[in-house]
Amino acid sequence: MVFNDTTNASGIIQTIEYLCDFSPATISGDATKLKQFTASINQAQHNVRHLIFLTTGNWEYDGGNHIDLPSATTSLDDGVKRYLMPPDALTMQRLEIKDINGNLSRLKPISKELIKGSLDEFMKEPGTPTYYRLVDNTIELFPAPNYTQADSLKMYFDRADTDFLTSDTIKTPGFASLYHKIIPIKASIEWFKIKQPQSQTLAILLQDELKLQKEIVEFYSRRFKDYKPRISRQVENYK
């Protein structure tokens, strides 16, 4: 769901206008209201991100449809085992690698506790990577690749929070699109709490919010299985 779509009336702003029974452009056409609701939308996004982070704290993506997720690719270098995460990634959902013949396969996560003996000796000889682990904002491959190849490490991820600006239009929340509607619902709830606390619509929206939050927890609980990411912001030549 995009932030503001006055053409198709399908953005977050327009959904809030609908849920709150506003006339079209009540928010999008008023600079003050747009600022106020943008702040509510950003707070709602932070709350959802916090819920996802508490739910997952993990890494491995467990199948299912990931087409709508952000992705990034980078090149592999012969003998190099460490690669930086994309700068806007918060949680990794799936990591794939392309072998020397161009075939994609999914890498398996592994923690240092599962590696017997020295980390430096584990799968020391370069080859086609089969495992990975996260060290801060770095992906470490096991073994290191024994070939150099462009666009051969692909990652699907959830983006870190980036606040919406009032000038945004096509920007979207950084989590699974199936649950984007929770953002206008949460923002609308905050309006009803202040302006119409006795409204039946508020009670309905609170039920919808609870239902979506449960679905988000179930969705991300199934998808993440291994690690809690703690990612700093560094820049790598992903594209």
Q: What is the DSSP string of the chain?
A: --S--TTTT-SHHHHHHHHTTPPTTTTTT-HHHHHHHHHHHHHHHHHHHHHHHHHH------SS--TTS-EEEEEE-TT--EEEPPTTEEEEEEEEEE-TTS-EEEPEE--GGGS-S-TTTTT-S-BS--EEEEETTEEEEESPBSS-EEEEEEEEEEEPP----TT-SS---SS-GGGTTHHHHHHHHHHHHHH-TT-HHHHHHHHHHHHHHHHHHHHHHHH--S-------------
- pLDDT over 70 percentage in the chain: 83
Average confidence (pLDDT) over 123-138: 88
Render pLDDT for 48-98 as a digit per residue (tens, 0 to 9): 988 877 776 533 333 333 445 677 888 999 999 999 887 667 677 789 999
Render pLDDT for 185-214 as a digit per residue (tens, 0 to 9): 999 999 999 999 999 999 999 999 999 999
pLDDT score for 175: 82
pLDDT score for 50: 81
